[in-house]
Amino acid sequence: MKAFLPLLVLLAPLGAQAVSGSWAADATGVTLETGGVRGESPSLRAVNPPAANARVTSVNWRYQLLAGAPAGLQVQLCTLSQCLSLGAGSGRSEAFNGMPADSEFRFVYFVQSRGALNPPLRAISNQVIVNYE
């Protein structure tokens, strides 16, 4: 038994480490026909929620528009407590670091203009990949 004690001491820290993982969710986008109106994607959440003590380390996002982005387009990725302005259709951020890993995300679309959008803004897909520990 004494021969195994050094091995157990070396392996103990491995058992104490947090389990890391990720979850992904996607949903259809929104259609905005008028400027100055805010549109939200359906909720994006984990199908199998991580452990209650798991925390976000980073989030990858991707959204796709049917046509080119209209002038004045603003897109945000939001949880119930904070939003991140997205400068591109895909990317990675640590802005949600430390939040519960089972947080709900939504994409929020807004076109800063007045009147009808021609063509309408059509976000055809939204996706998040949430990495956690």
Give the pLDDT band (50/70/90) at residue 19: confident
pTM score of the predicted model: 0.84
Encode 30-63: b = buried (16+ Cβ within 10 Å), e = exposed.
Answer: bebeebeeebebeebbbeeebeeebbbbebebbb
In a domain, 120, yes or no: yes
Q: pLDDT tens digits, residue range 64-74?
A: 999 999 999 99
In a domain, 9, yes or no: no
Range of the domain at 34: 20-132
CATH at 126: 2.60.120.260
Q: pLDDT tens digits, residue range 43-98?
A: 999 999 999 999 999 999 999 999 999 999 999 999 999 999 999 999 999 999 99
Tell me the average pLDDT across 98-108: 98
How many structural domains comprise the chain? 1
In a domain, 11, yes or no: no
* Residue 100 preceded by cis peptide, ω within 30: no
Contact indicator for 124, 28 with CB cutoff of 8 Å: yes
Give the pLDDT band (50/70/90) at residue 3: low
Is residue 14 scored above 50 in pLDDT?
no
Give the residue with greater pLDDT, 16 vs 114.
114
In a domain, 56, yes or no: yes
Q: What is the DSSP letter of 43?
A: P
